[in-house]
Amino acid sequence: MWMAGRFAVAADPSGMLVHSRTPRNSETRLPKLVESWITPNDLFYVRSHAPVPEIDAGQFRLTVEGLVDKRLSISLEELAGAFAQREVVATLTCAGNRRSEHSAVKPVSGVQWQAGAIGNAKWSGVALADLLKKAGLRDGAKHVWFEGLDQVERSDGVIPFGASIPIEKALADEPAMPGTLVATRMNGEPLPAHHGFPVRTVVPGYIGARSVKWLGKIVVSDRPSPNHYVATAYRLVEESTPENWAAASILYDYPLNAVTCLPEPGARLSAGPVSVSGFALAPANAGQTVRRVELSTDGGRHWTAATFQSPAVPYCWRLWSAELKLAAGMTDLVVRATDSAGGTQAEKVPWNLKGYMFNAWHHTRVTAS
């Protein structure tokens, strides 16, 4: 674990910014995020569309059905004992992280996330590939659906949260990186209730919405899930029309991003040297890691390279820091990242109706005097 211990942080009783209590939606305060490479469970952001469902662990069964030779109904005991246990460190981030910056351009409804709906954890459990192997895939298997046991109240009825992923991502299984994990543990502890106890998927490299909590059912299909959260959400549209939703592609990979965590927005600083730190994340599913992080104090005319505080680990964020000299009167600290394929964050990104995937240069408004 890599610690960024030299950054002093003001004591904060919860460390979280709570957007709503039931269902719980909370994000980590930025200075807390860069305290450690692994995000502790009690500081990990929570994004839930419905209250935590009541699940009797003794009665619990995870089912695997659809285009399979043999339908499976697996108890927690079998999940822990009958399959190889895997472990993966992966960053999870909400597609709506930084939504408030889209809203600053034109208001977007939904949780007004700042930049703390992200965290990095060690997940353990069973490879989805092993479950699918046991069930046996039938011809035509192209997508794997995940269904939660929660009940989301929508205007058109009560539905479970659902997601799906292409079969290739479900089956990927290199020793160093299981493609998709059916996780039962988070940072060495049983999954906390708010993070999906007893079982969730963890899909490294994908937006958080594909990592379904309180997982009850896995369905193998020839098509993506018809669930609302695949069919009519998590796509980039400017206007909500059936044609637009159908034409927009399903979001899977999260984009390149970088955020300054210290100093915090609104900080009053003395002109002169200042320590700056934050995180960056590269589109890992496309094979990228973070290559470079740069800061500017003059709106992007000149850039200073940051130093990495953690190695380039696939599927994980990278912490960075820099020592900058602030001129008196300076008000805007800008950061941007470049990935290993040479892709760099853009200064601006197009607005979209649901406020997903905001990854323009990150600005921190401060005053230096």
Ligand X SMILES: Nc1nc2c(c(=O)[nH]1)N[C@H]1C(S)=C(S)[C@@H](COP(=O)(O)O)O[C@H]1N2
Q: Give the binding site for ligand X (CB under 6 A).
A: 44-49, 92, 94, 148, 150, 161, 195, 208-209, 211-214
CB of 354 to ligand X, least distance (A): 11
161 binds, among Mo ion, ligand X, none (CB under 5 to 8 A by kind): ligand X
**Residue 204 interacts with Mo ion (CB under 5 A): yes or no:** no
92 binds, among ligand X, Mo ion, none (CB under 5 to 8 A by kind): ligand X
The closest of 127, 126, 124, 169 to 145, measured between CA atoms, is: 169
DSSP assignment of 290-358, as one string?
Answer: EEEEEEESSTTSS-EE-EESS---TTS-EEEEEEEEEPTT--EEEEEEEETTS-B--S-----TT----
- The one among 29, 47, 143, 185 contacting Mo ion by CB under 5 A: 47
* Closer of 148 and 263 to ligand X (Cβ): 148
* Closer of 47 and 291 to Mo ion (Cβ): 47
Range list of H helices, the chain: 30-33, 76-81, 99-105, 128-135, 167-171, 228-231, 242-247
* Closer of 178 and 208 to ligand X (Cβ): 208
CB 44 within 8 A of CB 198: no
CB of 224 to ligand X, least distance (A): 16
213 binds, among Mo ion, ligand X, none (CB under 5 to 8 A by kind): ligand X
Dihedral, CA of residue 317, residue 320, residue 326 and residue 330, to nearest 10 = 0
**Residue 208 interacts with Mo ion (CB under 5 A): yes or no:** yes
211 binds, among Mo ion, ligand X, none (CB under 5 to 8 A by kind): ligand X
Helices (H) and strands (E) in the chain, counts: 7, 27
Sign of the Cα pseudo-torsion (335, 336, 339, 341, in order): negative
CB of 328 to ligand X, least distance (A): 40
Q: Which residues bind Mo ion (CB under 5 A)?
A: 47, 94, 208-209
